[in-house]
Structure 1
Amino acid sequence: MKKFDIRNIRVRQLSVDEIDDRMLLVNLYVTQAITIIIGLIWVLFQRSNPFLLLQFPNSLTFLWWGLGLAAAVIVVDLLISRWVPEEAADDGGINERIFQNRPVWHIAVISFVVAVCEEVLFRGAVQHSFGPYWTSIIFAAIHVRYLKHWIPTGLVFSISYGLGWIYIESGTLWAPILAHFLVDLIMGLIIRFRREQTEQ
């Protein structure tokens, strides 16, 4: 019987083009499952109640916070994509691969899953420990595909700080969840329908 030798394991970086669509989706959903599990465990270690964290607020004012931040982010992102060269905002093609061939319902599902999982971890748990500034640095750092260029890195940091700010101001996690969901949904739909237009 052949002995297993850990020194024979080789790790290499894959480009997004080398991953098939099924594996890309598996990676996305597994990553989000790990994210929310870490977030919920962290919340429990803080002696907080995850059910209270996700309790729907009595007032609908959180809608204005979420809608307002999402609108601001989308306007800034559209201005950047209009005036900044594409290579300066390149994420390695991951967003295009995730969204370009998806039906609208699946783009909405992905956007919702990512919004809930990431906001539970970053706003619900990490921000409680480190505050919005350091949380935003961590948030930008884990979006590693943007780190090659300072414009998307700065944008991700700013969005994260904005999400942390509206969480504090609104007093509910549903404000940053809504904003995060709308930004991902609208940008995903733009990628999806831009592809259709270029194919015509």
Structure 2
Amino acid sequence: MSSPLTLVLTVVLVGYLAVATPLLGKHSYDRLARTRDQDPTAYRRMFTLWSAELWALAAVALLIVAVEPNLDAADIGLVLTEPLDETLGTIASVLVGAAVALLVLRWLAARSKPVPDQRSFNHLLPRTPVERWYAAGLSVTAGVTEEIIYRGLLIAIGTGALGLSKEVAACCALAVFVAGHLYQGWRGMLAVALVGFGLTWVYLRTGSLLMPILLHVLIDLRGLVFTPQPRREVVGHTG
């Protein structure tokens, strides 16, 4: 980092992501688990807070890029590296596959078939149409902001400021990403690690965040919006 401001912002951001995000996320999720049945606004309040936090962190990440001469949009993947027609073709293929998957999930939801291992996040599942909109909003927010922060900026910091190889920097960024999902317990974090590994692989292969962002949004929509709600007695006993 070539400026004191960049260094301070980077240390604060990485420290927050590595320490505060896991602890605060677990605290707020556990609180939602305790109070949701008694407080109908708890779900919407937590999702609003999480969304605001993610956009604020993404703004700090973009500020670091703006003030650091050795970083630009290309370094954090905010560019198209393939011809536009190829990019659009790839997006179309992903959307078709995602549409089929979402239709299957809707069918499962209508038949009340549970999704395996949803216990690690079942308090995040919406119960009302209004909560479903909040879940959709957080899915889009997380897909955009987390890719900019964890995949784009952290890997760039690892390779640029710390001199790590792309692979090592990506592993470190993935570890911080997984830690941010501490509230899901070890089973949920294992699933997050697998998803994060796939998104990281796509980013390293393409050099652009476009596909990881799109895939991340679709994965979160599947997980939150199109996952069948577990029976209430199961929800009440899961933390």
Task: Establish whether TM, by shorter chain, passes 0.5.
Answer: yes
> Residue 7 of structure 1 aligns with which residue?
none
Distance change in 2, residues 1:109/1:21 (3 Å): closer
Structure 2 residue runs without a partner (length 5+): 1-26, 37-41, 109-113, 159-168, 233-239
User: What is residue 192 of structure 2 aligned with on the other side?
Assistant: 156
Q: TM-score if structure 1 supplies the norm length?
A: 0.67
Worse-matched range after superposition: 15-24 or 180-189: 15-24
Distance 1:111 1:22, change over 3 A: closer
Percent of paired sites with the same residue: 20
Q: 1:119 aligns with which of 129, 147, 157?
A: 147
Contact 2:47/2:138 (CA < 8 Å) preserved in 1? no
1:96-135 aligned at under 5 Å gives the runs: 96=125, 99-103=126-130, 106-130=134-158, 131-135=169-173
Give, in whole Å, the separation in 2 of the partners of 1:160 and 1:66. 17
1:126 is displaced (CA, Å) by 0.6
Q: CA RMSD for the aligned pairs?
A: 3.7
Conservation of the 8 A alpha-carbon contact between 1:54 and 1:173: yes
CA contact (8 A) 1:136 1:160 kept: yes
Task: Summarize the alignment of residues 13-162 of structure 1 with structure 2, pairs less than 5 Å apart.
Answer: 13=27, 15-16=31-32, 17-18=34-35, 20-44=42-66, 45=68, 46-49=70-73, 53-55=77-79, 58=84, 59-60=86-87, 62-63=90-91, 81-82=115-116, 89-91=119-121, 93-96=122-125, 99-103=126-130, 106-130=134-158, 131-146=169-184, 148-149=185-186, 151-162=187-198
Q: Hey, what's the Cα distance between the residues in 2 that align with 1:35 and 1:66?
A: 28
How many angstroms does 1:65 deviate by?
Answer: 8.7
The TM-score with structure 2 as length reference comes to: 0.57
1:110: Cα distance to partner? 2.5
